Amino acid sequence: MSKVIVHSLFSEFDIDLFKLGKHFRLYEKFGSHIVTVNGVKGTYFSVWAPSAKSVSVIGDFNFWNENEHQLNVRWDASGIWEGFIPEVGKGNIYKYKIHSHHNGVITEKADPYARRYEHPPKTASVVWEDSYDWKDSEWMKKRKKNNAIDAPFSVYEVHLGSWKRKIEEDRSLSYYELADELVAYVKKMNFTHVELMPIMEYPYDPSWGYQLTGYFAPTSRFGYPEEFKLLVDKLHQNDIGILLDWVPSHFPEDGHGLGFFDGSCLYEHPDRRKGYHPDWKSLIFNYGRNEVKSFLISNAIFWLDQYHADGLRVDAVASMLFLDYSREDGEWEPNIFGGRENLEAIDFMKELNQEVYRSFPDVQTIAEESTSFPMVSKPTFVGGLGFGMKWMMGWMHDTLLYMGKEPIHRRHHQNDLTFSMTYAFTENFLLPLSHDEVVYGKRSIIGRMPGDEWQKFANLRLLYSYMFTHPGTNLLFMGAEFGQHDEWNFQGSLDWHLLQYDYHSGIQNLITDLNKLYKENPALYEKQFDAEGFEWISYDDYENSVITYVRKGHNDKEALVIACNFTPVPRKDYRIGISMKGTLKQIFNSDDTKYGGTGNFKASKIKIESKDWHYRDYSAEITIPPLGAVVFKFDK
Q: For residue range 123-153, what is the model confidence (pLDDT) as tens digits?
A: 999 999 988 999 999 999 999 999 999 999 9
Mean pLDDT of 518-533: 98
Please confirm, yes or no, whether 168 is among the known catalytic residues: no
> Which of 262, 268, 368, 398 is an active site residue?
368
Domains and CATH numbers, the chain: 12-126 (2.60.40.10), 397-430+454-473+501-636 (2.60.40.1180)
Nearest C-alpha neighbor of 124 from the set 21, 220, 15? 220
Mean pLDDT of 111-134: 96
Contact criterion met (CB below 8 Å) for 26 and 91? no
pLDDT-derived band of residue 604, with 50, 70 and 90 as boundaries?
A: confident
Mean pLDDT of 30-43: 96
Reply yes or no on whether the pLDDT at 1 is more than 80. no
Q: What is the pLDDT of residue 2?
A: 56
Within 10 Å of residue 108's Cβ, how many Cβ atoms? 16
Q: Give buried/exposed letters for 525-540 (b at 16+ CB in 10 A, else e).
A: bbbbbeeebbeebbbe
> Which of 157, 315, 369, 592 is an active site residue?
315
Q: What is the pLDDT of residue 103?
A: 80
Please tell me the number of Cα atoms within 13 Å of 214 on its side-chain side.
26
Please confirm, yes or no, whether 315 is among the known catalytic residues: yes
Asked whether the bond before 121 is cis by omega within 30 degrees of 0, the reply is yes
SS3 readout for 418-473: HHHHHCCCCCCEEEEECHHHHCCCCCCCHHHCCCCHHHHHHHHHHHHHHHHHCCCE
Q: What percent of the chain has pLDDT over 90?
A: 96
Nearest C-alpha neighbor of 314 from the set 257, 354, 352, 262? 352
∠ CA(566), CA(189), CA(463), 5° rounding? Answer: 10
Q: For residues 599 and 596, what is the distance between their CA atoms, to the nearest angstrom?
A: 9
- Please report which residue ranges of 23-167 form alpha helices under DSSP H: 137-146
Q: For residues 618 and 581, what is the distance between their CA atoms, to the nearest angstrom?
A: 7
Mean pLDDT of 519-536: 98
- Please report which residue ranges of 165-254 form alpha helices under DSSP H: 175-189, 225-237
Q: What single-letter amino acid sits at 499?
A: L
Query: Taking the CA atoms of the chain, what radius of gyration do you get in angstroms?
Result: 27
Mean pLDDT of 377-405: 97
Q: For residues 330 and 340, what is the distance between their CA atoms, to the nearest angstrom?
A: 12
Mean pLDDT of 247-259: 96
For residue 488, give the DSSP letter: P
β-strand pairing of 171-172 with 473-477: unpaired
- From residue 538, how far is each of 474, 544, 608, 626, 627 by CA, in Å? 23, 11, 17, 18, 17
Q: For residues 482 and 181, what is the distance between their CA atoms, to the nearest angstrom?
A: 17
Please tell me the number of Cα atoms within 13 Å of 221 on its side-chain side.
23
Q: What is the pLDDT of residue 605?
A: 87
Compute CA 233 distance to the chain's CA centroid, rounded to the nearest angstrom: 18
Contact criterion met (CB below 8 Å) for 415 and 402? no
Compute CA 223 distance to the chain's CA centroid, rounded to the nearest angstrom: 22
Q: What is the pLDDT of residue 583?
A: 95
Reply yes or no on whether the pLDDT at 102 is more than 90. no
Residue 562: burial class (beta carbons within 10 Å; 0-12, 13-18, 19+): buried
* Average model confidence (pLDDT) across the chain: 96
Mean pLDDT of 586-607: 93
Q: What single-letter amino acid sits at 183?
A: V
Q: Under 8 Å CB-to-CB from 102, ≥6 apart: which residues?
A: 51, 263, 264
For residue 102, give the DSSP letter: S
Q: What sign results for the dihedral spanned by CA atoms 330, 334, 338, 339?
A: negative
Q: For residues 302 and 90, what is the distance between their CA atoms, to the nearest angstrom?
A: 20
Please give the full DSSP string across 58-76, using - where no structure is assigned.
Answer: EETTTTT-TTT-BPEEPTT
Q: What is the pLDDT of residue 636?
A: 64
Q: For residues 363 and 356, what is the distance between their CA atoms, to the nearest angstrom?
A: 8
Reply yes or no on whether the pLDDT at 494 is more than 60. yes
Nearest C-alpha neighbor of 121 from the set 203, 40, 199, 20? 203
Q: For residues 341 and 353, what is the distance between their CA atoms, to the nearest angstrom?
A: 18
∠ CA(195), CA(353), CA(331), 5° rounding? Answer: 90
Helix (H), strand (E) at residue 301: helix 290-306
Q: For residues 147 and 304, what is the distance between their CA atoms, to the nearest angstrom?
A: 13
The length of the chain is 636
Q: For residues 243 and 313, what is the distance between their CA atoms, to the nearest angstrom?
A: 7
pLDDT in tens, 158-196: 999 999 999 888 899 999 999 999 999 999 999 999 999
∠ CA(624), CA(625), CA(628), 5° rounding? Answer: 95
Mean pLDDT of 514-541: 97
Q: What percent of the chain has pLDDT over 70?
A: 100
pLDDT in tens, 199-227: 999 999 999 999 999 999 999 999 999 99
